[in-house]
């Protein structure tokens, strides 16, 4: 059974060696505190989301506890940032996003944003005939918005199934069981925006004549 692809922060999966050197962890505590306050979260709420004790979180933020991979991974996921952003803030002089494609379960994922927290944007390319087996729908906190650039993508959302074609968009609460497939002969290219629960993107279209709305 092939897993579905979760587009949430993926940069850490290919960049761990970058920060595992002396001096790269300086300032992590300050960044952890700033990210938590930006999201208006308490230590208790962050503890519940990550499984890390309140006392450990407090020591991490104050610099009294050295961060480890086991601690940073759930924190990066909770704050919706990559590990690179968590341990060493990206440069602010160049507004261009450094595109670093990675592959997850055969799907090419290209981060298109680097904002700490908040909405995360990705371009994803699902190969033809993906996945090999029948994927199991998954659930997680958040809200998704998809726009198909090329090919077709099949979405199973709860009891519904939809075939998305170029120019079509869909949005849904990710707490509803969902999964994607591309059974077609061509790659499916998709823009995928993931937001924390409650932070939604709504697709707005111009009303057409005759629908009861002014032109």
**pLDDT at position 2 over 50:** no
Q: Is the pLDDT of residue 164 over 90?
A: yes
Does any domain span residue 3? no
Strands 153-157 and 160-164, bridge-based pairing: antiparallel
Query: Is-cis flag, bond preceding 176, omega within 30?
Result: no
pLDDT averaged over the chain?
75
pLDDT value at residue 160? 93
Label the pairing between strands 143-150 and 153-157: unpaired
How far CA 189 is from CA of 152, 155, 180, in Å, comes to: 8, 14, 12
CATH number of the CATH domain containing 40: 1.10.260.40
pTM of the model: 0.53
Calculate the alpha carbon distances from 94 to 91, 98, 114, 143, 208 in Å.
7, 10, 12, 29, 41
Number of domains in the chain: 2
Instruction: Give residue-wise pLDDT tens across range 121-155.
Output: 888 999 999 998 888 898 877 788 999 999 999 99
Within a domain: residue 96? no
Rounded to the nearest 5°, which phi and psi values hold at 130? -100, 140
Same domain, 106 and 191: yes
Summarize the confidence of residues 70-86 as an average pLDDT: 79
CA angle 77, 80, 85 (to 5 degrees): 95
63 with 141, same domain: the answer is no
| Residue 179 domain-assigned (yes or no) | yes
Residue 209, domain member (yes or no): no
Pairing of strands 102-104, 107-111: antiparallel
Q: Residue 178 is part of which domain span?
A: 102-195
The strand pairing partners of 172, in sequence order, are 144
- Same-domain pairing of 114 and 173: yes
């Amino acid at each position: 059974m092939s897993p579905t692809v979760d587009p949430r922060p993926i940069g850490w999966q290919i960049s761990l060696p970058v920060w595992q050197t002396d001096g790269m962890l300086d300032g992590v505590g300050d960044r952890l505190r700033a990210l938590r306050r930006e999201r208006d979260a308490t230590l208790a709420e962050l503890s519940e989301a990550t499984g890390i004790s309140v006392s450990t979180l407090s020591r991490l933020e104050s610099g009294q506890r050295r961060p480890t991979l086991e601690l940073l991974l759930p924190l990066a996921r909770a704050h919706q940032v990559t590990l690179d952003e968590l341990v060493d803030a990206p440069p602010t002089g160049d507004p261009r996003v450094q595109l670093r494609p990675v592959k997850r379960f055969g799907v090419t994922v290209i981060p298109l944003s680097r904002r700490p927290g908040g909405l995360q944007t990705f371009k994803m390319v699902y190969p033809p005939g993906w996945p090999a087996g029948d994927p199991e729908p998954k659930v997680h906190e958040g809200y998704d918005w998809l726009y198909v650039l090329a090919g077709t993508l099949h979405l199973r959302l709860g009891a519904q199934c939809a075939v998305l074609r170029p120019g079509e968009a869909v949005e849904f609460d990710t707490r509803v069981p969902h999964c994607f497939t591309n059974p077609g002969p061509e790659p499916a290219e998709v823009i995928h925006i993931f937001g924390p629960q409650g932070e939604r993107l709504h697709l707005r279209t111009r009303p057409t004549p005759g629908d009861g709305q002014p032109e």
